[in-house]
Structure 1
Amino acid sequence: MEANVSDDSDISDCQRDVIAFLAGAGLVGPQARAVRRIDTHGAHVFIGAHDVYKIKRAVRYPYMDFSSLAKRRAACAREVEINVPHAPAVYKGLVAITREADGRLVLNGAGEPVEWAVHMARFAEEDVLVNRVARTALTVDEAKALADAVVASHGAAQVVVEPPERATIAAIAHNVLAALPGLFGGDDGDVLELTSELSRRIAVLAPLFAERARAGCVRRCHGDLHLGNVVFIGGAPTLFDALEFDEALATVDILYDFAFLLMDLDHRGHRAAANAVFNRYIWRRQEHTDLEGLAALPVFMALRAAIRAMVGAQRAASTHEGLAESRAYLTRARSYLADERPLLVVTGGLSGSGKSTLAAALAPMLGRAPGALHVRSDLERKALFGAGELERLPETAYGADVTARVYARLLAKSEAALRVGHSVVADAVHAHPSERAEMAALAQRAGALFVAFWLDAPRDVLLQRVGARKKDASDATPQVVERQMSYDLGELEWTRLDASGTPEETRCTAMSYLHASMGPR
Structure 2
Amino acid sequence: MTKEQIDKLISAGEFPEHNGRPELIETHISWVILCDRFVFKIKKPVCYSFLDFSTLEKRKYYCEREIELNKRLTEHIYLDVQPVTEISDLFFIGKKEGEIIDYAVRMRKQDRNLQMDVLLSNNKVIHSDMRNLAKKIADFHKKTTIIYQKDLLDIRNKFNDLGEEKLFLQEHLTVDSSTIINNAIDISDVFMQKNTALLANRLNAGFFRDCHGDLHSRNIFLLPDPQPFDCIEFNDDYRQIDILNEVAFLCMDLDAFERQDLSNLFLKYYNDFFPSVETNKDHQLFVYYKSYRANVRAKVNSLRARSAGNEMARIIYLDEVNKYLGLMDHYIKLLTIE
Indicate whether the TM-score tops 0.5.
yes
**Cα separation, partners in 2 of 1:280 and 1:304, compared to 1, 3 Å:** same
Letter paired with 2:109? R
> Which secondary structure does the structure 2 equivalent of 1:53 belong to?
strand
TM-score, scaled to structure 2: 0.87
Cα deviation code 1:37-96 (max 9, x no counterpart): 122332221111111001123334433333433332222211111011321211011112
Q: Secondary structure at the match of 1:95?
A: strand
Q: Give the letter for the 2:234 counterpart.
A: F
Structure 2 stretches lacking a partner, 5+ long: 171-177
- Contact 1:312/1:325 (<8 A) preserved: yes
Structure 1 stretches lacking a partner, 5+ long: 1-12, 342-419, 422-521
Measured in 2, the distance between the counterparts of 1:136 and 1:305 equals: 22
SS of the residue 1:136 aligns to: coil
Query: Which residues in structure 2 correspond to 1:300-315 (within 5 Å)?
Result: 300-315=289-304
Mapping 1:19-98, distance limit 5 Å = 19-22=7-10, 24=12, 26-29=14-17, 32=19, 34-98=21-85
Give the C-alpha shift of residue 21 in structure 1.
0.5
Distance in 2 of aligned mates of 1:173 and 1:24: 48
After superposition, the Cα gap between the structure-2 partners of 1:60 and 1:20, relative to the gap in structure 1 and judged at 3 Å, is same
| Superposition CA RMSD, Å | 2.5
* CA distance 1:154–1:115, change in 2 (3 Å): same
* Cα shift at 1:220: 0.6
Do residues 241 (structure 1) and 236 (structure 2) align?
A: no
Deviation digits for residues 344-388 of structure 1 (CA, Å, limit 9, x no counterpart): xxxxxxxxxxxxxxxxxxxxxxxxxxxxxxxxxxxxxxxxxxxxx
Aligned partners of 1:192, 1:89: CA distance in 2, in Å?
46
Q: 1:332 aligns with which of 316, 324, 327?
A: 327
Structure 1 equivalent of residue 90 of structure 2 = 104
Asked if 2 retains the 8 angstrom alpha-carbon contact of 1:98 and 1:113, the reply is yes
Write the letter of the residue equivalent to 1:327: N
Match among 207, 215, 239 for residue 225 of structure 1: 215
2:189 corresponds to 1:189? no
Q: Are the equivalent residues in 2 in contact too, given 1:18–1:115 (CA < 8 A)? A: no
1:270-281 correspondence runs (5 A) = 270-281=259-270
Q: How many equivalent residue pairs?
A: 324
Distance 1:125 1:178, change over 3 A: same
Distance 1:198 1:154 in 2: 26
Kept in 1, the 8 Å contact 2:212–2:246? The answer is yes
In structure 2, which of residues 277, 291, 307 is the aligned counterpart of residue 318 of structure 1?
307
After superposition, the Cα gap between the structure-2 partners of 1:189 and 1:283, relative to the gap in structure 1 and judged at 3 Å, is same
User: In terms of mean alpha carbon deviation, does 133-142 or 53-62 score higher?
Assistant: 53-62
**3-state secondary structure, aligned to 2:294:** helix
Q: 1:274 to 1:186 in 2, by over 3 A?
A: closer
How far 1:248 sits from its partner (Å)? 1.2
| Structure 2 residue aligned with 1:266 | 255
Identity of aligned residues (%): 23
CA distance in 1, matches of 2:272, 2:32: 37
Flag the 1:137–1:340 CA change in 2: closer, same or farther, 3 A.
Answer: farther
Which of 264, 274, 286 is residue 297 of structure 1 equivalent to? 286
Alpha carbons 2:8, 2:90 under 8 Å: kept: no
- Asked if structure 2 preserves the Cα contact closer than 8 Å seen for 1:183 and 1:314, the reply is no
How many angstroms apart in 2 are the aligned matches of 1:271 and 1:318?
32
Q: Is the 8 A contact 2:216 2:249 kept in 1?
A: yes
Once the 2 structures are TM-superposed, how far is the Cα of residue 149 of structure 1 from its aligned partner? 1.1
Deviations 1:311-334 (A, max 9, x none): 122222222432221222122111
Residues 1:121 and 2:108 aligned together: yes
Alignment correspondent of 2:173: none
Which residue of 2 is the match for residue 394 of structure 1? none
1:152 deviates by 1.4
Aligned residue in 2 for 1:216: 206
Return the offset for 1:308.
0.9
For normalisation by structure 1, the TM-score amounts to 0.58
Query: Which amino acid letter does the alignment assign opposite residue 213 of structure 1?
Result: L
User: Could you tell me whether the CA contact under 8 Å between 1:99 and 1:112 is conserved in 2?
Assistant: yes
Kindly state the Cα deviation for residue 159 of structure 1 after the two structures are TM-superposed. 0.2
**Superposition deviation, residue 118 in structure 1:** 0.8
**Contact 2:15/2:92 (<8 A) preserved:** no
Q: Which amino acid aligns with 2:110?
A: F
1:178 maps to amino acid: D
The answer to whether the aligner puts 1:253 opposite 2:228 as a matched pair is no
Larger Rg: 1
2:131–2:269: 8 Å Cα contact kept in structure 1? yes
